[in-house]
Amino acid sequence: MLSTIKKFIKLQNIMKEQLKFKVAAVQYEPSQFNKKLNIDSLLNLSEQAAKEGTKLIVTPEMGTTGYCWMDRKEVEPYVEAIPGHTTDKFLEITKKYNCYIVVGMPEIDKETNLYYNSAVLIGPSGIVGKHRKSHSYIAEPKWSAPGQEHVVFETEIGKIGILICMDIHFIETARLIALQEADIIVHISNWLGERTPGSYWISRAFENSCYLIEGNRWGLERTVQFSGGSCVINPDGSIASVIDKGDGIAYADIDLNWPRERKVLDENVFNDRRPEMYMNLPTDPYLWNPLEFFGLYGLNPLPKGKKSKISITQMTTTNKIKDNLTKMLQYLSLAKEAKSEMVVFPELCLTGHLNENSTPLKKESSEISILADYANLNDIYIYFGFAEEQDGQFFNSTALLGPEGLLGIYKKIHLNKEDKKWASEGNEWKFFDTKIGRIGLLIGYDAIFPESARCLGLQGCDIILCASAQKGIFTHRHKGSKIRQNYPIPMGADPNHWNHFRMRGGENNVYFLYSNIFDKKNNFLGKSGIFGPDPFKFPREESLIHSNEDITHLVIDTSNLDTNYPTNVVRDKFMMSMRQPHHYLPLIKHHQKK
């Protein structure tokens, strides 16, 4: 019996070891119009990585040819079918070293004569599959057609999904891969316009609990400066390995047991999804002029909007409601002095974030009435969290108060482990039209789910308020890049290079106000901020809180010029209009909770 147990343990250890292996991100500067040189160079780099025992090697987007093509005629001599001469060359390496290689190349479909920006996954037994870029950047429509699917490939080294460059700007693409239980997102790119590793890369790994292997190019081509930063990103968003400038290889050892836990910040996010709440994800309202669309039939026209100063707080609460209310009123007084028109407070800040909510409040409570009177008398909007009792049920709720009174109560839709001990789920997204703009509401854990802010963005929200009590690390720094960027793109060290909740603003073209609890003893680390709506704008339009407890302000603009068409990024929402909703149906499929 003992020998049988030992054999079983030994077999388990062997199986576990097979989930651990080395991966590599290849960085390369291709020479346009010199396909042979590019292929030979990539073959050399790939073989170099393979000799190190690497099982998965990722090369850059369009690495075989260069990227900046003017039209179909110019790229025509360089397109190639898959399989073809180029893939055969890389197949020789995968067979010889028993590894997998991802190659980026312009592809021709022989049946249609269409061209695609493609990535092919080649393994020891041949071509495993390919991905055709589905969400085009500005350059691709000059010569290529968009791809039509997002699939995950099952291999001996795990489940692998592929995205190409602009694909990853959209929350839906990586989520489609993650819902197919991908272990690894391979992202090949010709990334530009920012210091790398890019925040989008990091957030897609983090929110989907996947490894992300980034093969990016560097160098200058037709006046375009590419950013390098090829890397391997862990499922928690930390950088396992990175190469900044120059041709080279970033290696890392990975363990597939990590992504298979399927956790983000120690929460089972894929079991906590609410697909029934995401039914507008496959819609495409920004195909149309939003100023007309949202006012169709005379209902729900977007408010006029304006320039406004707004504020967020970061604070520690106690179990004493009176003390919490006193502190909130102190911050409101500071906001009034700064001539702010809106203040956002953290999740459960009124009733306390650690009291397990033995003292919930009803919306008619005297404490909420005091805040409502303040909002009315001082012409200010107040958003805050509290434990709510309604009809014998308890909810993790927020209230939005304004000069008009109580605009509404939002009940948290995504409940984390702590919430589930006492609270019931909410079942309605809430957004309100105000003189500041259209405002959507979220609470803490909601914002971990990329679907949440997207659902509100698709309703035309200019601003999303997030009252949070989120534990854990969702930010990290950058030591600086040696790749020269034109002003004002930053190159130097940055202690706030990545903040996951910054992405919620840019990817949805909204102002995202994130107010978090600070309580270091209990792993609430703050990192609150007001984040702007344009992901490509530098210097960033934002204001961060750096101390433990504080208030910060930012002037925002939700107004539109006197025209029938949008002139403001929060109204135009260019990131919304570039979505490909026909891909997104799997995001709303119901699942069996485990």
The verdict on whether 61 is a catalytic residue reads yes
- 366-378 and 321-337 are packed helices; what angle lies between their axes, rounded to 10 degrees? 10
pLDDT for the residue numbered 244:
97
Lowest mean pLDDT among 36-45, 201-210, 247-256, 296-305: 296-305
Which token pair is 458? 């698709």
Same domain, 239 and 349: no
Residues 432/439, Cβ–Cβ less than 8 Å: yes
Section 27-41 average pLDDT:
98
**309-351: pLDDT as tens digits:** 999 999 999 999 999 999 999 999 999 999 999 999 999 999 9
Question: Catalytic one among 99, 159, 165, 461?
Answer: 165
Question: Is pLDDT above 60 for 17?
Answer: no
- 35-51 and 85-97 are packed helices; what angle lies between their axes, rounded to 10 degrees? 10
Going by pLDDT thresholds of 50, 70 and 90, the confidence category of residue 353 is confident
Strand order in the sheet with 307-314: 405-411, 393-402, 381-390, 342-344, 307-314, 550-557
Give the global pTM. Answer: 0.95
**407-439: pLDDT as tens digits:** 999 999 999 999 999 999 999 999 999 999 999
**Distance (Å) of CA 322 to CA 42, 319, 351, 375:** 66, 9, 9, 18
Same domain, 85 and 210: yes
pLDDT for the residue numbered 374:
98
Same domain, 282 and 391: yes
Q: Is residue 2 part of a domain?
A: no
Section 141-165 average pLDDT:
97
The verdict on whether 133 is a catalytic residue reads yes
Stated as kind and residue range, the H or E segment containing 514 is strand 511-516
- In angstroms, rounded to a whole number, what is the distance separating the alpha carbons of residues 455 and 508? 9
> Residue 258 is part of a domain; what is its CATH number?
3.60.110.10
Same domain, 427 and 526: yes
Section 510-514 average pLDDT:
98
Residues 183/210, Cβ–Cβ less than 8 Å: yes
- In angstroms, rounded to a whole number, what is the distance separating the alpha carbons of residues 444 and 457? 17
pLDDT for the residue numbered 2:
54
Spell out the residues 6+ positions from residue 423 whose beta carbon is closer than 8 angstroms to its own: 357, 387, 394, 395, 396, 412, 415
User: Which domain does 420 fall in, by range?
Assistant: 277-286+307-481+488-588
Domain stop point among 262, 295, 322: 262
Going by pLDDT thresholds of 50, 70 and 90, the confidence category of residue 10 is very low
Q: How far apart are the first and last CA of the chain?
A: 34
Half-sphere exposure of 18 (CA within 13 A, CB side): 10
Instruction: State the average pLDDT for the chain.
Output: 95
- In angstroms, rounded to a whole number, what is the distance separating the alpha carbons of residues 353 and 268? 21
Same domain, 251 and 281: no
Same domain, 96 and 128: yes
Stated as kind and residue range, the H or E segment containing 466 is strand 463-468
- In angstroms, rounded to a whole number, what is the distance separating the alpha carbons of residues 366 and 322? 11
Q: Which residues pair with 226 in a beta bridge?
A: 192, 219
pLDDT for the residue numbered 5:
58
Going by pLDDT thresholds of 50, 70 and 90, the confidence category of residue 161 is very high
Question: Catalytic one among 133, 411, 412, 471?
Answer: 133
Which token pair is 211? 């490894």
pLDDT for the residue numbered 11:
43
Q: Is residue 299 part of a domain?
A: no
Section 26-43 average pLDDT:
98
Section 74-82 average pLDDT:
98
Which token pair is 260? 């298979």
Question: Catalytic one among 47, 61, 172, 207?
Answer: 61
Which token pair is 175? 């989520």
Which token pair is 25? 């991100």
Same domain, 217 and 338: no
pLDDT for the residue numbered 359:
84
Going by pLDDT thresholds of 50, 70 and 90, the confidence category of residue 590 is low
Residues 530/543, Cβ–Cβ less than 8 Å: yes
Domain stop point among 262, 297, 330: 262
- In angstroms, rounded to a whole number, what is the distance separating the alpha carbons of residues 582 and 335? 44
Q: Which of 359, 402, 403 is nearest to 384 (CA)?
A: 402
Lowest mean pLDDT among 201-210, 244-253, 297-306: 297-306
Is the torsion defined by CA of 155, 157, 160, 162 positive or negative?
negative
pLDDT for the residue numbered 14:
42
Q: Which of 378, 224, 304, 383 is nearest to 568 (CA)?
A: 304
pLDDT for the residue numbered 6:
56
Q: Is residue 446 part of a domain?
A: yes
Same domain, 190 and 335: no
Lowest mean pLDDT among 171-185, 207-221, 578-592: 578-592
**Total number of domains constituting the chain:** 2
Spell out the residues 6+ positions from residue 349 whose beta carbon is closer than 8 angstroms to its own: 315, 317, 324, 328, 384, 385, 386, 467, 517
- C-alpha 215, offset from chain centre: 19
Q: Is residue 359 part of a domain?
A: yes
Same domain, 382 and 492: yes
Spell out the residues 6+ positions from residue 389 whose beta carbon is closer than 8 angstroms to its own: 360, 361, 362, 395
pLDDT for the residue numbered 517:
97
Same domain, 68 and 171: yes
**Which DSSP string do the residues of 291-317 spell out, in sequence order?**
HHHTTGGGSSPPP---EEEEEEEEB--
Beta strands of 174-259 (E only): which ranges? 184-189, 211-216, 218-221, 224-227, 231-233, 239-242, 248-255
**45-70: pLDDT as tens digits:** 999 999 999 999 999 999 999 999 99
Q: Is residue 61 part of a domain?
A: yes
**Which DSSP string do the residues of 61-123 spell out, in sequence order?**
TTTTT-S---SHHHHGGG-B-SSSHHHHHHHHHHHHHT-EEEEEEEEE-TTT--EEEEEEEEE
Q: Is residue 522 part of a domain?
A: yes
Section 167-193 average pLDDT:
98
Same domain, 441 and 579: yes
Q: Looking at the chain, how many residues does it have?
A: 594
Percent of the chain with pLDDT over 70: 96
Q: Is residue 269 part of a domain?
A: no
Q: Which residues pair with 342 in a beta bridge?
A: 310, 381
Query: Given the DSSP bridges, would you call strands 152-155 and 126-132 parallel, antiparallel or unpaired?
Result: unpaired
Judged by DSSP in three states, 559 sits in coil
Residues 411/277, Cβ–Cβ less than 8 Å: no
- In angstroms, rounded to a whole number, what is the distance separating the alpha carbons of residues 254 and 239? 12
Which token pair is 271? 């079991």
Q: Which residues pair with 189 in a beta bridge?
A: 216
Q: Is residue 292 part of a domain?
A: no
Same domain, 238 and 366: no
